[in-house]
Amino acid sequence: MKKIYKSTYIGLLLLGLVSCNQPSEQSDKIVNDSNTPLHLLTPDYHTPYQEWKTEDIKSCLDKVLGYLESTTPTRTIDKESGEEITDYTQINQHAQLDRGAFRLASYEWGVTYSGMMEAAKATGDARYMAYVEDRFRFLAEMVPYFTRLLNEHDVIDAQMRQILRPGALDDAGAVCAAMIKLNRIKPEMDFSTMIDNYMDFIMNKEHRLSDGTFARMRPQANTMWLDDMYMAIPSIAQMGAYTGDTKYFDEAVRQIFLFSERMFVEEKGLYMHGWVEGEEDHPAFHWGRANGWALLTMTEVLDVLPEDYPGRDRVMAQYKAHVKGITRLQSGEGFWHQLLDRNDSYLETSATAIFTYCIARGINKGWLDAISYGPVAQLGWSAVATKVNDEGQVEGTCVGTGMAFDPAFYYYRPVNVYAAHGYGPVLLAGAEMINLLNQFFPKMNDSAIQYYSVKQNTTRPIFGIAE
């Protein structure tokens, strides 16, 4: 009987009939329980459900790299004439960084620089690191000229103002963290002036609550935004690794729990997006990307916090609790929703990519179990990969989003290929999936992706594990 099943299944496969949606009238032979192993019919997945090869993931990342190389130039121009300024001593009040598709000094691009560095490490392709080096070198070269312009005329390009006089954590933290990462890899590239300026703002000038928690004065006074975990804390932790001064590790750990104590909803395993001091009730909307920033924060802190550092075990427990909450809400398409616990909100790319990276990273670091979480990460990557178009643009990413007190605000946020928030997370997710596939051996077994620590050398559609 097994031989009959096998030959029938192969024949159906060759005829293209093994699909849940294909009617039996396409074949003269009726497919039924007696002549076909129905459990092996191929489901009609919307998101490809597949085994991945590292070269296929790299091909996807290469599209993104190529697109960003062509759309984020490193040039200074005179905005009056439109001409490039090559002699930087001639930079005047009309000078600005060339307006590419994305801003080189934005927090979104701080994440992109981090993603490029992870992709360089995972793939061995030097082009990814060159992308970061070229742009940081360019920005560093611009600093003295635009500093003079700012001091003499109080006029400056908006992107350079973010670097020289940051006014919010968005201006400082993500780019600072990326610069420190590059300096730790390549100490000869000295960005200490910019790093120190960023860190001075983060540690000494950003608004805080009375207990020291980072907060904003919008949209209400003393509002905590979950986003600010990522806009500050990873750079502080990186500063600890960079300088060896443990006060930065202490502050990073402290901030994680100041945020978590107010904003983590234990019964859901999710963070709320906003918290307003003095209010009895808070806008408990579990926005996807903000939860991504929180999980990415803990992932990055655990990356650099010494194994025996006080508080590390608490950070790890918080990371795992959040992963559990996130994992149970993954959709059948592999994406996560814009509002995580509301299935009628749209499926969103950037949050999905962040969760994919953080979960894959946790498996590779030994924080999470590959059997339980490997398929979650792989399904997430399968979803993300469908949103990288042939040009290398990332589709389905929610644009910048403030904090609101009603669901309609989140449900109807636009998506756009120029929403810069998607590119860094896609690079991070793809790079970490390459690392995951180099460490584990996912394989289809009984139509489901399973993760194995040892390669399974079988072509059988269903197989057991030899003792």
Tens of pLDDT, residues 381-433: 999 999 999 999 999 999 999 999 999 999 999 999 999 999 999 999 999 99
Please tell me the predicted confidence (pLDDT) of residue 368.
Answer: 98
- pLDDT category, 239, cuts 50, 70, 90? very high
Q: Taking the mean position of all CA atoms in its chain, how far away is CA 299?
A: 11
Please tell me the predicted confidence (pLDDT) of residue 338.
Answer: 98
Kindly tell me if the per-residue pLDDT of 11 is higher than 50.
Answer: no
Kindly tell me if the per-residue pLDDT of 28 is higher than 80.
Answer: no
Percent of the chain with pLDDT over 90: 88
Least confident of 17-31, 313-327, 342-356: 17-31
Please tell me the predicted confidence (pLDDT) of residue 292.
Answer: 98
Q: Catalogue the E-assigned strands of 71-148.
A: 76-78, 95-97
Kindly tell me if the per-residue pLDDT of 15 is higher than 80.
Answer: no
The CB-based long-range contact list for 202-211 (8 Å cut-off, 24+ gap) reads: 202/169, 202/172, 202/173, 202/176, 202/232, 202/235, 202/236, 203/236, 203/251, 206/168, 206/169, 206/172, 206/232, 209/277, 211/258
**What average pLDDT is seen over the chain?**
93
Q: Are 372 and 427 in contact (CB under 8 A)?
A: no
Kindly tell me if the per-residue pLDDT of 271 is higher than 70.
Answer: yes
Look up residue 334 and give its two tokens.
């592999």
Average the pLDDT over 274-278 and give the result: 96
Tens of pLDDT, residues 453-463: 999 999 999 99
Please tell me the predicted confidence (pLDDT) of residue 2.
Answer: 41
Average the pLDDT over 203-209 and give the result: 98
- pLDDT category, 19, cuts 50, 70, 90? very low
Instruction: Determine the Cα–Cα distance for residues 174 and 275; give it in Å rounded to an integer.
Output: 22
Least confident of 105-109, 150-154, 397-401: 150-154
Instruction: Determine the Cα–Cα distance for residues 364 and 374; give it in Å rounded to an integer.
Output: 10
Tens of pLDDT, residues 76-104: 999 999 999 999 999 988 999 999 999 99
Please tell me the predicted confidence (pLDDT) of residue 454.
Answer: 96
Q: Are 288 and 336 in contact (CB under 8 A)?
A: yes
Amino acid symbol at 153? H
Please tell me the predicted confidence (pLDDT) of residue 40.
Answer: 87
- pLDDT category, 467, cuts 50, 70, 90? low
Average the pLDDT over 182-192 and give the result: 95
